[in-house]
């Protein structure tokens, strides 16, 4: 059997060292990387009674946003002193994924399962290429038409 699926997701990661455009270097600091993937997947399905085992591959657009908080810098005006500068960067790029999954039918049409996916995706944040993919474990709620 062959299946096609579309999905929208969300994941995030805390960043402890990042590129700081205000100082022009990698510095220790707290930041939050948020990613919204919009994906399409082709799934090869092997039905085994109430259980399905599948292999999958697909692609998607990954919308990434890195919020690096605020950085303090001297103002051009001596009267103003130091100012806080909000620092963030956003990018969207095409990425790919592949993996495997297993699901169990809880009714004749509704299934619950899990997928293990490896995602290859990068984003250009603060003029630096950042790896936003990796190994992902997804929960699956499916409905068969």
Q: Which pTM value belongs to this model?
A: 0.75
The per-residue pLDDT for 36 is 95
Distance between start and end Cα atoms, the chain: 13
The per-residue pLDDT for 21 is 53
The per-residue pLDDT for 107 is 95
Q: Which residues of 49-72 are buried (b: 16+ CB within 10 A; e: fewer)?
A: eeebebebebebebbbbbbbeebe
Query: Are β-strands 11-20 and 82-105 bridged in parallel, bridged antiparallel, or unpaired?
Result: unpaired
The per-residue pLDDT for 1 is 87
DSSP symbol at 121: -
For residue range 71-106, what is the model confidence (pLDDT) as tens digits? 555 556 656 555 555 578 899 999 999 999 999 999
Per-residue pLDDT of the chain (145 residues; tens, 9 = 90+): 898 999 999 988 876 655 555 555 555 556 788 999 999 999 999 999 999 999 999 999 999 998 876 655 555 665 655 555 557 889 999 999 999 999 999 999 999 999 999 999 999 887 778 888 889 998 989 888 8
């Amino acid at each position: 059997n062959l299946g096609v699926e579309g999905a929208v997701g969300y994941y995030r990661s805390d960043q402890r060292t990042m590129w700081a455009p205000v100082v022009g270097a990698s510095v220790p600091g707290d930041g939050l990387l948020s990613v919204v993937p919009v994906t399409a997947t082709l799934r090869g399905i092997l039905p085994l009674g109430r259980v399905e085992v599948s292999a999958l591959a697909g692609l998607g657009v990954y919308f990434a946003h890195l919020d690096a908080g605020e950085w303090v810098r001297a103002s051009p005006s001596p009267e103003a002193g130091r100012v806080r500068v909000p620092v963030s960067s956003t990018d969207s790029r095409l990425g790919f994924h592949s993996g495997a999954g297993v699901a169990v039918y809880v009714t004749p049409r509704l299934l619950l399962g899990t997928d293990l996916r490896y995602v290859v995706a990068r984003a250009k944040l603060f003029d630096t290429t950042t790896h936003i993919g990796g190994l992902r474990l997804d929960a699956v709620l499916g409905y068969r038409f």
